[in-house]
Amino acid sequence: MRKVSGLIAGVLCVSVAWDAWSHRTVDQFSFIQVGQGDCAVFREKGTVVMVDTGPRQGSFDAGRRLVWPAIRDLGIDRIDCLVLSHPDMDHIGGLLSISQRVRIDRIVVSEVFRNHPVMQHELQSAGFSGHQIQYINQNSRLTFGNLRISLYPAPPDSKSDNDRSLLTVVETHNKAIALTGDASQEIERFWIQQSAPKCQIIKAGHHGSNLSLSTDWLNYHQPETVVFSCGRNNPFGHPAPEAVERAVGSNILRTDWDGNITFWWTGTNFEKSTTEKSSPLMKLFNR
């Protein structure tokens, strides 16, 4: 009996230490594997910013199945700011499930979507209203803790919701990351004219569609890394081989095959890790 109590006490100490260590708050940012959709999360000194929430389609809810387990693993229980690029279900579908599980303090949306029926419906069903939502109608700069966000709305005469996507540039430590939603090449050129901040890491627009990720955009940023956020077996053929071709020269990462792509701050630089190669036991529990 004494031996068993000793064992339990031992396991208790080790597990508390282990949990504390593995869930310590490290500055990092991740592109989460959400299937065909977008979701990126940034954390510095405990402040959390998320851009898009992953898809919801039929019975598949990435917010519950993929985003929540991933951010829970990172020890995130609160989001200071959530940017929604545009109201397509592959970007805002996860909002409902995520908002049921973690506190979201503020939501940032482009002014052009203020009266968009889908956007309004999703925000309302998740219980957001009035002062919690900030509408962006001009190039803006917001600061949350140490995280700095620059927001660039698309030109007001853009023809589709995709082309009205909000450009979000997140700056954390020595990196700037550009997320363009589903905007096309034309809008990318507009943002170049607006002198958007140059970034070391960019997410390929529209999940790697051939109509996004222009050579101009790539030349403008000269990115170290290009991330494609797209789903396995997606019916659109994303990422387009031409778009991937254009990104050659940068480090290419894909959420469909690399899994969750995370950059950890080591104190001097960011170090990359992906989940698909390491297959932790957690991921293998499934029904």
Partner 1 sequence: MRNELNHRPLIWIAIGLGCGVSTSFAPWPWFAILGSSLLFRNLRTIVPLLLAFTVGFLIRPAIPELVREESEFEGRVSIDSMPQRGALGQSCLAEIGSERYLLYFSAEENLALGDEAVIQGELNALSESAGFSSGARGTIKVSSVRLLSEGFSIWRIGQQVADHFRKTVENHLSPESAALVRGVCFNQTDAIEQSDWEAFRRFGIVHLLSASGFHVFVVAGLLLAILNLIPIPRWLQIAVVLGALGLFAIAAGLRPPIIRSVLMTAVALPAYTLRREPDGLSAVGLASVVNILVNPSVIVELGFQLSVLSTLGLVMFLDERLVSTWPKWKLVLAPTLIATLATLPLIGFVFGEVSLIGVIGNLVIAPVVAAIIVLSLIAWILGSVAPPLGDLVWLLVEPLTTFTLRTTELGGTLPGSLIRLPGFSVLSLVLMYLLLLTFWRVRHEKS
Identify the residue among 33, 168, 209, 212 touching partner 1 (CB under 8 A): 33
Answer with the entry of Zn ion, partner 1, none that 216 interacts with (C-beta below 5 to 8 A by kind). Answer: none
Applying CB under 5 A, the site for Zn ion has a residue count of: 2
Applying CB under 8 A, the site for partner 1 has a residue count of: 46
How many other CB atoms sit within 10 Å of the CB of residue 97?
Answer: 20
Tell me, rounded to whole angstroms, the distance of Cα 3 from its chain centroid. 48
By CB under 5 A, residue 61 contacts Zn ion? no
Identify the residue among 15, 129, 143, 194 touching partner 1 (CB under 8 A): 15
> Mask: binding to partner 1, 214-253, rule CB under 8 A, as x and -?
-----------------xxx--------------------
Distance CA 129, CA 100 (A): 15
Buried b (16+ CB within 10 A) or exposed e, 234-270: beeebbbeebbebbeebebbbbbebbbbbbebeeeeb
Task: Answer for the pair 204, 215: CB distance below 8 angstroms, yes or no.
Answer: no
Identify the residue among 35, 63, 94, 153 touching partner 1 (CB under 8 A): 35
Least distance in angstroms from the C-beta of 72 to partner 1 = 5
Beta bridge partners of 167: 152
By CB under 5 A, residue 80 contacts Zn ion? no
Identify the residue among 257, 266, 271, 272 touching partner 1 (CB under 8 A): 257
- The two beta strands, 56-57 and 47-51, are unpaired
Q: What tokens appear for 31 in the block?
A: 């592109």
Measured in degrees and rounded to the nearest 5, phi and psi for residue 271 equal -115, 135
By CB under 8 A, residue 272 contacts partner 1? no
Token pair 């390491």 in the structure block, residue? 278
Taking contact as CB under 8 A, which single stretch among the options 41-49, 150-158, 171-179, 277-285 is the one that binds partner 1?
A: 277-285
Answer with the entry of Zn ion, partner 1, none that 90 interacts with (C-beta below 5 to 8 A by kind). Answer: Zn ion
How many other CB atoms sit within 10 Å of the CB of residue 20?
Answer: 9
Task: Answer for the pair 132, 107: CB distance below 8 angstroms, yes or no.
Answer: yes
Q: Which of residues 68-107 bind partner 1 (CB under 8 A)?
A: 68-69, 72-73, 75, 77, 100-102
For Zn ion, the closer of residues 74 and 154 by Cβ is 154
For partner 1, the closer of residues 135 and 257 by Cβ is 257
Answer with the entry of Zn ion, partner 1, none that 256 interacts with (C-beta below 5 to 8 A by kind). Answer: partner 1
Taking contact as CB under 8 A, which single stretch among the options 63-71, 124-132, 152-160, 214-222 is the one that binds partner 1?
A: 63-71
By CB under 8 A, residue 193 contacts partner 1? no
Strand order in the sheet with 47-51: 133-136, 103-110, 78-84, 47-51, 40-44, 28-31, 261-265, 270-274
Length of the chain: 287
CA distances from 169 to 36, 83, 124, 152, 160 (A): 22, 11, 26, 8, 22
Binding site for partner 1 (CB under 8 A): 1, 3-5, 7-8, 11-12, 14-16, 18-19, 22-23, 33-35, 58-60, 65-66, 68-69, 72-73, 75, 77, 100-102, 231-233, 256-257, 279-287
